[in-house]
Structure 1
Amino acid sequence: MPATTGESLLLAARLQRLPTTRYTWAFVLLLAGALIVEAFDIGSLSVILPILKPLMHLSAMEVGLLAASSTVGITIGMIPAGLLADHFGRKPVLIGGVLWFSGLTLVSAMAPDFRTLLILRGLSGLGMGATFIMPYALLVELVSSRTRAAFSGILESALGIGYVTVPILGLVVLPSFAPEIAWRVFLLIGGLPIAYVWVLWKYLPESPRWLSRAGRSDEAERIVAAIEERVEQLIGAPLPEPVVTRELEMSLGSERQRVSLRTALEVWRPPYLVRTLAMTSGAFGTFALFYVAVNYIPSLFEAKSIGLSNVLILSLIVTSSQIPGKLLNGVLSDFLGRKPTYALFASASLVGAYFFGQSSDPIVMMGWGCLFLFAASGSAPSYKMWYAEQYPTPIRATGQSTCESIGGKLLGGVVWTAVFPVLVDAFGIGTTMTLIAVIGLVTLLVVIVFAPETAGHSAEELEGQARGPRNGLMNQHAPAQEKI
């Protein structure tokens, strides 16, 4: 049976009062490991594209299709993954996603031709879609609102580590084999982290908030009690009594979630419609720049007639710049708020993108490339947390997967990634990067005007704000704070 309102309130208050300890770090690092595995898998294509292009005699359009192929799968699979996570739980969907894309990457290393490789990369993206969104849903639902954006920066830095590992390993692996073998070896290495599935199954907890709202309150209680026991051992003292504030008490409904096609449509209806449109728009502007950097920076440097080893070194430097950006963004977002932090980073990324396109010297391009990837990729921690916070627990995974799949993956990842090399061939790098900078400016303004600030509130408080005052009528005479 679903938990009563009082049980859900108490559970939320117990989770919110938990301090940051080694347990919190261990939980976040478990999630980070899944993102490192995924980022390496996605980025692996960028370093083998310069090999595949002459080896398979690929046209500009075929290069674009291959670069976008996994993102096509991510886009198709992300919303269904959100629905599955809201129905079956966050943990099984995350585990299934890692198992799926790692297994298909191993198979793709054996692809006999371009068409087969294209299909396998597209299918692998179905699992990547689940892996992209689950860590952030779990973070919102298990980590206190006081520090969750900072830890989101850790998760995003894990993606950065995965992307940075790609050119490092490329420097070791690719020159060691003939071209027709090197790309296959690299994809085989990309699929080996399938073993991480066991680690997630063994050690990752399910979201107690989701369990409670799904009618599995006994399981939620066991997990929270185990966490509390571990935290008390780490701090060497009893935890304070949980306190339910009036804002929290007025925010939480007790209904059990029922996930269906109607759940997917709910994010397109009031009171969520405006925030879905705004956050989807911003996701497009942010991810379009990011995917240009991840998929094409090695190829753009190669266009300057630089040798493969130097291309990989320059790409490594540019790709490395995103990690400090992600860490800084997460910390600033908890301090300044989601909206001003996003505005700061998004503006810097537009400047970097524009001047990257106008530069002709490889070293100058590297400098501007570092700025736009530092800021574009760096804006992701608070932004992903921001759109996860826009929706209540019963539709959170569906809502965040909608914003990211349509704005970030479909428009920013698939459409823009596929047409980018065609636009560069037709109009040049300068005009193409100017166009994307203008698009990014427009989407930034939409987000700033229409998206509400969410920093500093618990998951339940955000739920009450999203639903509006009509749901805040129960216990309206309750005292400001009440201990349960």
Structure 2
Amino acid sequence: MSLSTDLPAEPAERAVPFDWFRTLSAKGKRAFIGAFGGYGLDAYDFQVLPLALGAISSYFLISSGQAGLLTTVTLVVSALGGALAGVLADKIGRVRTLQLTVATYTLFTVLCGFAPNFETLLIFRAFQGLGFGGEWAAGAILVAEYAHTKYRGRAVAYVQSAWAVGWGLAVLVYTLVFQFVSEDLAWRVLFWTGALPALLIIWVRRNLTDSETVTQRRESAGKRAGSFVAIFRGDLVRTTFFASVLATGVQGGYYTLATWLPSYLKKSRHLNVVGTGGYLFFLIGGAFLGYVTGGILADRLGRKRTIQLFAVLSVVFLVAYIQVPEGANTMVLLLGFPLGFCTAAIFSSFGSFLSELYPTASRGTGQGFTYNFGRGVGAVFPTVVGYLASTTLGLAGAMMFGAFGYLLAAIALFGLPETRGRELA
């Protein structure tokens, strides 16, 4: 097969909607579909826990701190899974790694539904984190390496937008299941629906291949491909440090919201299941548009400016959302849209930015390590919030801790270069 089938088409002279997709090769288009599906279902399998957290807490009679620990363990182990997946992506390829990660998070999400006690559920969620952590790195790099330089930011941002789709699907299923099934069983059913990604594994195996150009470079690198040591040498050590701090701040802030927002709406705003689902859909709608818009801005303003802009705005809207007085739930509903928009848009640059910061032989390792180091350390945030919620601060006051993460991210960007326009192969 000709190597030219890997190459993206040249962009048109005038901007056309979805040019980023049109310029992908046939293989690139299939890579995007596979990565989008994998990340969307990754989000679905992760989000069933926060949505079912109230029912799980009641069923196993656990404290808010223990409930937060379920998310923290998932994210801490996902840091290990993501780092390992990054190495595998450089050693055995992006597509094979994508298959392994999807299979892992699917299996252990389903097993969570059979957990007889809190301790077993904790173990299953830990193993689910191995696959959850690795999927994004493999999928984002795969698409980044097929995308045209001019459109790489928005191409990978659309992959990132799959998180909002998966989250929205999880909320829809949660609303239906908890309406028609008793709470003691409903949380188990929600986990069992996590078997959906098994169908994607079959499709990926039959239809996706790595970029031939990148495969040749990986093979020529030999043992040097996928080396942890390489990302801590020379100029890359500075990149690895600041990229890890950046990822920690953004994900610490995000997972504070993802974990505790459903509980906040139910306990602090006194909404029922349908009401909580409705408010979350409003926030998720903002998130989807945020992912897409952030990708366009990343290609026009640059990666750093886009992340800095939305880091500041995320702090503003997070504080405003939490500070809405009791009885003003309409304001909470309205603020959910810009909050979702900003906290999602900040992620849009990540796939392209981290891919562009590292050379081909270390791209999977560098992106997998930094992004998932951020997950691991950022995972402490939900637990801290859980324990702070049991003090005089209450849940609303404790969630303000998430704003610290976004401020940390904005500061970390001063140590990283702008990469817009950088060629990958």
Give the structure-1-normalised TM-score.
Answer: 0.80
What does the per-residue CA deviation read over 1:353-408, in whole Å, with 9 as the maximum and x for residues that have no partner? 1222222333333333432331122211212320121000100010011111112x
Of 309, 312, 323 in structure 2, the residue corresponding to residue 344 of structure 1 is 309
In 2, distance between residues paired with 1:104 and 1:180? 20
What does the per-residue CA deviation read over 1:172-203, in whole Å, with 9 as the maximum and x for residues that have no partner? 11111111211111111112321210000011
In 1, distance between residues paired with 2:10 and 2:54? 49
Q: Is the 8 A contact 2:385 2:399 kept in 1?
A: no
What does the per-residue CA deviation read over 1:231-288, in whole Å, with 9 as the maximum and x for residues that have no partner? xxxxxxxxxxxxxxxxxxxxxxxx5242478x21221222112222222111122112
1:441 deviates by 1.8
1:444 deviates by 0.4
1:277-356 paired onto structure 2 within 5 Å: 277-304=241-268, 305-356=270-321
In 2, distance between residues paired with 1:430 and 1:303? 10
1:456 aligns with 2:404: no
In 2, distance between residues paired with 1:431 and 1:282? 24
In 2, distance between residues paired with 1:71 and 1:439? 15
Q: Is the 8 A contact 2:95 2:210 kept in 1?
A: yes
Q: Secondary structure at the match of 2:228?
A: helix
Q: Is the 8 A contact 2:225 2:361 kept in 1?
A: no
Q: Is the 8 A contact 1:281 1:443 kept in 2?
A: yes
Of 410, 413, 421 in structure 1, the residue corresponding to residue 376 of structure 2 is 410
Q: Is the 8 A contact 1:354 1:430 kept in 2?
A: no
- The verdict on how the C-alpha distance between 1:375 and 1:12 changes in structure 2, with shifts beyond 3 A counting, is farther
1:76 deviates by 1.8
- The verdict on how the C-alpha distance between 1:212 and 1:404 changes in structure 2, with shifts beyond 3 A counting, is same
The aligned counterpart of 1:421 is 386
1:130 aligns with 2:94: no
1:161 aligns with 2:165: yes
Q: Is the 8 A contact 1:105 1:121 kept in 2?
A: yes
- The verdict on how the C-alpha distance between 1:203 and 1:260 changes in structure 2, with shifts beyond 3 A counting, is closer
What does the per-residue CA deviation read over 1:146-166, in whole Å, with 9 as the maximum and x for residues that have no partner? 111111121011111001111
Q: Is the 8 A contact 2:9 2:148 kept in 1?
A: yes
The aligned counterpart of 1:477 is none
The aligned counterpart of 1:368 is 335
The aligned counterpart of 2:94 is 90
Q: Is the 8 A contact 2:88 2:97 kept in 1?
A: yes
1:18 deviates by 5.3
In 2, distance between residues paired with 1:58 and 1:345? 35
1:436 aligns with 2:399: no
In 1, distance between residues paired with 2:237 and 2:411? 17
Deviates more, 1:194-203 or 1:451-460: 451-460
RMSD between superposed Cα atoms in Å = 2.1
Task: State the AA in 1 paired with 2:196.
Answer: L
The aligned counterpart of 1:121 is 125
1:347 deviates by 1.4
Q: Secondary structure at the match of 1:459?
A: coil
- The verdict on how the C-alpha distance between 1:25 and 1:211 changes in structure 2, with shifts beyond 3 A counting, is closer
In 2, distance between residues paired with 1:174 and 1:109? 15
- The verdict on how the C-alpha distance between 1:192 and 1:60 changes in structure 2, with shifts beyond 3 A counting, is same
Give the structure-2-normalised TM-score.
Answer: 0.90
- The verdict on how the C-alpha distance between 1:51 and 1:332 changes in structure 2, with shifts beyond 3 A counting, is same
In 1, distance between residues paired with 2:96 and 2:204? 9
The aligned counterpart of 1:15 is 7
In 2, distance between residues paired with 1:315 and 1:180? 22
Of 346, 351, 360 in structure 2, the residue corresponding to residue 393 of structure 1 is 360
1:185 aligns with 2:189: yes
Question: Which structure 1 residue ranges, 5 or more long, are not aligned?
Answer: 1-9, 216-254, 461-484
Q: Is the 8 A contact 1:293 1:373 kept in 2?
A: no
In 2, distance between residues paired with 1:397 and 1:293? 28
- The verdict on how the C-alpha distance between 1:82 and 1:21 changes in structure 2, with shifts beyond 3 A counting, is closer
Q: Is the 8 A contact 1:141 1:208 kept in 2?
A: no
Q: Secondary structure at the match of 2:7?
A: helix
In 1, distance between residues paired with 2:5 and 2:202? 31
- Structure with bigger gyration radius: 1
- The verdict on how the C-alpha distance between 1:286 and 1:366 changes in structure 2, with shifts beyond 3 A counting, is farther
Of 100, 105, 109 in structure 2, the residue corresponding to residue 101 of structure 1 is 105
In 2, distance between residues paired with 1:403 and 1:394? 16
1:141 deviates by 1.5
- The verdict on how the C-alpha distance between 1:387 and 1:260 changes in structure 2, with shifts beyond 3 A counting, is closer
Q: Secondary structure at the match of 2:114?
A: coil
Q: Is the 8 A contact 2:283 2:339 kept in 1?
A: no
Task: State the AA in 2 paired with 1:442.
Answer: L
1:50 deviates by 1.5
Q: Is the 8 A contact 1:51 1:183 kept in 2?
A: yes
In 1, distance between residues paired with 2:101 and 2:6? 30
Q: Is the 8 A contact 1:391 1:399 kept in 2?
A: yes
Of 33, 46, 49 in structure 1, the residue corresponding to residue 37 of structure 2 is 33
In 1, distance between residues paired with 2:75 and 2:128? 9
Runs (4+) off by over 4 Å: 10-14, 16-19
Deviates more, 1:324-333 or 1:370-379: 370-379
Q: Secondary structure at the match of 2:357?
A: coil
Q: Is the 8 A contact 1:301 1:362 kept in 2?
A: no
Of 229, 232, 236 in structure 2, the residue corresponding to residue 272 of structure 1 is 236
In 2, distance between residues paired with 1:67 and 1:363? 29
